[in-house]
Structures are given as structure tokens and as C-alpha cells.
């Protein structure tokens, strides 16, 4: 079976921690690697960005295909919608040259969903979509969020037309049904995965020495894209409320686009008297993250919204307890009182209270650590890959169309496809 993975706005090979790179990049790449190991032929389609080869063989059975759409340089995610028609035309042209075409199209995020719908129609193949985050939910999670109406309209249209929707948690499934009218019969809850060979407990003393951290001082860790929706300001205030004053807070993530927020957080830390406790580490390669997780006493995820919460899963796989907001997919990954704590209020006090409990009780942390690692077995990539592969088999068997070699649409057919998809 040949699979087209569509990731228009961000490449799965891009460095993590930037404005547009995070858990979705990890998911697309690692899922595709696992499917390739299972014998599927997988092409990941993304926008050409920089002087990179148009087609790159990443692993046996796995390629990344970069399509020209707009300037070959980083652009804002919101601007990519203007270039979707060109990106989609590139999808069709590339597919037309592939013997046998594609059996399943799997789109990631709303922009890819629009382009993937056209490719699936052209290939007479089932369209599987995963949104990763939802615009309507982000707007409701934080009053200052301003996701564009085009995004929400597109998500609603794609959700109602897709042959199957992958949701990372039962909570995401409920939100799609409530806010987007998605059919429960077409939604399939399959969690994101984690590389348990990479993310596993390591010697804490070695990790701290490598990172230049004091061996006996408390260390807290935050990882992710540096944006306001991630609630880092809540964590800074929570650290200021802790009675222990020798705490180090590591903030991992952020690029040049995050300099404004970084300056705000530094000013906040100065006002609250803890500027010396914070270390901004910037973006860190994915394979170096385990050292940070294992060096920390606790990983904190104070987000206003998380569709899954990959950072929490990676931390727990390393045996690090998590204190997280009780939102979205975090409810399905963090077991409150067993592998960490879930905080129902987005304010510093409750976070500080639970952080203090864990930092002051090494035996409790050790118990949480053992339980956390054990609980992550269900997120092993092989398990997730097999579930997704089974979904592909099922939707392909049910799909009424017959796959055919890709054919580049003529002008009239192309215009009709564009109008039908809302591009």
C-alpha cells in the first residue's frame, strides 16, 4: 500500500522548538517511519523551504517530497493558505508520475486537510485527517487567541467530508463532535506515540553534569514552542511562590520569533525576584531532550490547551513526574496522583502547591517516576503504527472508489476541484 502523508505548513525534518515546529512534526515523521518499517511505501509532502532537495529519501520506503508553493523561505503559517492552490497542483502533478498512485491520503492540520481532500478525490482514495489542534478550541481556551475564521470554516468542512478522522484523545473526539459536527462513526481515537528507546530513564547525575546543573538543587523543566497559549507565565509566577529559593527553571524551546515573549517573561521574573532562577535554553534537537527530562525533578506543562501533550509523554517515558493543566489530551496521559498532578485552574498558586509537594518528597517523586515509565508502554510507536495501519486497511476496504494512476486534472476539472475543496 502506498500512503501520501500531507504536511503542508511545516516539514517533519525541521528543527523542533521553533514557531511552527512541535509535536505534530514528531508525529508525522515517527508515524511515517513506523509505517515504512511495516512495509508501506510512504511519501510525506511538505512545502519547499530553503535550498533543499525536492525529493529526499529519509529511510527505506520513506521519502520527503518538497513542493514549491510561495517563496522558498520560512513564512508565517497563516500566509500559507494563499499558496495552497499551487501546493495542491504540485501534489497532483507528482502523484501523476507515480505508478499506481496512492491508496490512502493522510492529511495533518487544517491547511493540509484542504489540499489532501483534492488529492484523495483525484486518486479516488480515502481521505484520513488529523487536526492536531483545533482553531475553535484555541479561541475558547484563551480569550486573546485570534484564530482566523477561514481556519475554523475549513476545519468544519474537512471534518464533515473526510472518510476518517484520527483523534489523539477521547477529549479531542468530543470537541470535534460538539463544535464541528463531526460524525462519531468516522472518528478513531489513536494516541500519539513516543520512542521508548530514546526516551527512557538515564543517570540523573550524568545528565546534570552535562547540562551544567547543580547536583542537589531542585530543577524544574518546561519544553515546547514559546507562545502564550503554553502558559509559561503561570509557571514563572508559580516558581516565585515556592518557598525554596534555590530552584532552577529550564525553559527549552523558542526561536527568533519568540524573542518578544522571552523579554516579557524575563521582565516578569525580574519583578517577581527570580530572574536568576531561569535558564532559557532555546531550541534543542529532539534526540538531546532526554538529558533535560532526566536532569529535571519535575516537568511542568501549564498549557491552556493541548490536544495530546507530547512533552508530558516524553517526560514520563524518561521517568520524570509531570505537573500539568487539566486540559485536552493531558487528562488521558497524566494519571493524577499516580504519575503526576493535574491542575484544574490556570493560576500560579495550585501549580506552586503541587510542585512544592513533589520537590520536598523524593520518595513520592520516585514512586511517580516508576509508575510514569510503566504507563507509557501503550504509547510505543509500534503499537500506534499498527493501529493506524489497521485504520488504513479498513477505510480502503470500505471506500467506494477504485484507485487509479494519478491524472493531472484539466483546467475545468482543476477549477471544479478547487472550488469544491474551498481552496
Pair 266, 368 in one domain: yes
Residues 62 and 24: beta-carbon distance below 8 Å: no
**pLDDT at residue number 409:** 41
**pLDDT at residue number 20:** 54
Residue 104: strand, helix, or coil: strand
Confidence of residue 408 (pLDDT cuts 50, 70, 90): very low
**Residue 168 pLDDT exceeds 80:** yes
**Residue 406 pLDDT exceeds 50:** no
**pLDDT at residue number 199:** 97
Max Cα-Cα span within the chain: 69
Confidence of residue 22 (pLDDT cuts 50, 70, 90): low
Q: Could you read off the pLDDT of 59-93 as tens digits, one per residue? A: 999 999 999 988 877 777 777 888 899 999 999 99
Burial of 8 (C-beta count, 10 Å sphere; 0-12/13-18/19+): buried
Which of 5-9, 50-54, 192-196, 259-263 has the lowest average pLDDT? Answer: 50-54
Angle, helix 23-37 to helix 310-317, in steps of 10 degrees: 60
Domain count, the chain: 2
Within a domain: 21: yes
Tell me what the mean pLDDT of segment 279-283 comes to.
Answer: 93
Pair 31, 150 in one domain: yes
**pLDDT at residue number 326:** 96
Could you tell me what percent of the chain has a pLDDT over 70?
A: 93
How high is the mean pLDDT of the chain? 90
Within a domain: 199: no
* Dist CA 368 CA 187 (whole Å): 33
**pLDDT at residue number 19:** 53
Pair 365, 216 in one domain: yes
Residues 191 and 378: beta-carbon distance below 8 Å: yes
Residues 133 and 168: beta-carbon distance below 8 Å: no
Q: Could you read off the pLDDT of 118-142 as tens digits, one per residue? A: 999 999 999 999 999 899 998 888 7
**Residue 404 pLDDT exceeds 50:** no
Domain containing 235 equals 204-378
Tell me what the mean pLDDT of segment 400-410 comes to.
Answer: 50
Confidence of residue 410 (pLDDT cuts 50, 70, 90): very low
Within a domain: 75: yes
Within a domain: 198: no
Within a domain: 248: yes
Pair 183, 232 in one domain: no
Within a domain: 272: yes
Pair 104, 159 in one domain: yes
Which of 271-280, 319-328, 406-415 has the lowest average pLDDT? Answer: 406-415
Pair 225, 373 in one domain: yes
**pLDDT at residue number 169:** 92
**Residue 403 pLDDT exceeds 90:** no
**pLDDT at residue number 419:** 44
E strands of 182-331, at which residues? Answer: 187-189, 219-223, 248-252, 278-282, 298-301, 322-325
Q: Which of 168 and 400 is assigned the larger pLDDT?
A: 168
**Residue 256 pLDDT exceeds 90:** no
Pair 325, 372 in one domain: yes
Pair 179, 263 in one domain: no
Pair 64, 95 in one domain: yes
Residue 248: strand, helix, or coil: strand
**pLDDT at residue number 142:** 74
**Residue 243 pLDDT exceeds 70:** yes
Residue whose C-alpha cell reads 490512502 in the numeric block: 104
* Dist CA 281 CA 261 (whole Å): 14
Residue whose C-alpha cell reads 509535536 in the numeric block: 23
**Residue 416 pLDDT exceeds 50:** no
**pLDDT at residue number 351:** 97
- Least Cα distance to 10 among 93, 62, 87, 85 occurs for 87
Confidence of residue 247 (pLDDT cuts 50, 70, 90): very high
Pair 179, 52 in one domain: yes
**pLDDT at residue number 15:** 65
Within a domain: 372: yes
Which of 46-50, 311-315, 361-365, 403-407 has the lowest average pLDDT? Answer: 403-407
* Dist CA 404 CA 101 (whole Å): 6
Pair 281, 368 in one domain: yes
Q: Could you read off the pLDDT of 306-354 as tens digits, one per residue? A: 989 999 999 999 999 999 999 989 999 999 999 999 999 889 999 999 9
CATH at residue 129: 3.40.50.2000
Tell me what the mean pLDDT of segment 263-292 comes to.
Answer: 94
Pair 212, 325 in one domain: yes
**pLDDT at residue number 345:** 85
Amino acid at each position: 500500500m502506498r500512503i501520501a502523508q500531507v504536511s503542508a505548513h511545516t516539514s517533519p525534518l525541521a528543527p523542533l522548538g521553533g514557531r511552527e515546529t512541535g509535536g505534530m512534526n514528531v508525529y508525522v515523521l515517527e508515524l511515517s517511519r513506523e509505517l515504512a518499517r511495516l512495509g508501506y511505501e510512504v511519501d510525506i509532502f511538505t512545502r519547499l523551504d530553503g535550498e533543499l532537495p525536492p525529493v529526499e529519501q529519509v529511510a527505506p520506503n520513506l521519502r520527503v517530497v518538497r513542493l514549491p508553493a510561495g517563496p522558498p523561505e520560512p513564512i508565517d503559517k497563516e500566509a500559507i493558505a494563499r499558496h495552497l492552490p499551487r501546493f495542491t497542483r504540485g501534489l497532483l502533478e507528482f502523484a501523476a508520475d507515480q505508478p499506481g498512485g496512492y491508496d490512502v491520503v493522510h492529511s495533518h492540520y487544517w491547511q493540509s486537510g484542504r489540499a489532501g481532500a483534492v488529492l484523495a478525490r483525484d486518486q479516488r482514495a480515502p481521505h484520513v485527517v488529523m487536526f492536531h489542534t483545533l482553531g475553535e478550541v484555541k479561541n475558547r481556551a484563551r480569550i486573546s487567541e485570534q484564530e482566523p475564521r477561514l481556519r475554523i470554516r475549513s476545519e468544519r468542512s474537512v471534518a464533515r467530508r473526510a472518510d476518517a478522522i484520527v483523534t489523539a484523545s477521547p477529549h479531542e473526539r468530543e470537541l470535534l463532535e460538539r463544535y464541528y459536527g463531526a460524525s462519531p462513526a468516522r472518528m478513531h481515537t489513536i494516541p500519539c506515540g513516543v520512542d521508548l528507546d530514546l526516551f527512557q530513564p538515564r543517570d540523573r547525575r550524568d545528565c546534570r553534569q552535562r547540562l551544567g546543573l547543580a547536583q542537589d538543587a531542585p530543577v524544574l523543566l518546561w519544553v515546547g514552542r514559546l507562545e502564550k497559549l503554553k502558559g509559561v507565565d503561570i509557571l514563572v509566577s508559580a516558581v516565585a511562590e515556592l518557598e525554596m529559593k534555590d530552584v532552577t527553571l529550564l525553559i527549552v524551546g523558542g526561536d527568533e520569533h519568540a524573542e518578544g515573549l522571552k523579554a516579557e517573561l524575563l521582565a516578569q521574573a525580574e519583578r517577581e525576584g527570580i530572574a536568576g532562577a531561569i535558564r532559557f535554553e532555546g531550541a534543542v534537537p529532539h534526540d538531546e531532550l532526554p538529558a533535560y527530562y532526566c536532569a529535571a525533578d519535575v516537568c511542568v506543562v501549564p498549557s491552556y490547551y493541548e490536544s495530546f501533550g507530547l512533552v508530558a509523554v516524553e517526560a514520563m517515558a524518561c521517568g520524570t513526574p509531570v505537573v500539568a493543566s487539566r486540559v485536552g489530551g493531558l487528562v488521558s496521559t497524566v494519571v493524577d496522583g499516580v504519575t503526576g498532578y493535574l491542575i484544574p485552574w490556570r493560576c500560579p498558586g495550585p501549580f506552586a502547591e503541587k510542585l512544592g509537594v513533589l520537590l520536598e518528597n523524593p520518595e513520592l517523586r520516585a514512586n511517580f517516576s516508576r509508575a510514569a515509565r510503566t504507563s507509557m508502554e501503550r504509547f510505543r510507536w509500534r503499537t500506534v503504527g499498527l493501529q493506524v495501519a489497521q485504520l488504513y486497511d479498513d477505510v480502503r476496504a470500505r471506500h467506494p472508489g477504485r484507485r487509479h494512476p494519478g491524472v493531472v486534472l484539466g483546467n475545468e476539472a482543476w477549477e471544479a476541484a478547487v472550488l469544491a475543496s474551498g481552496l
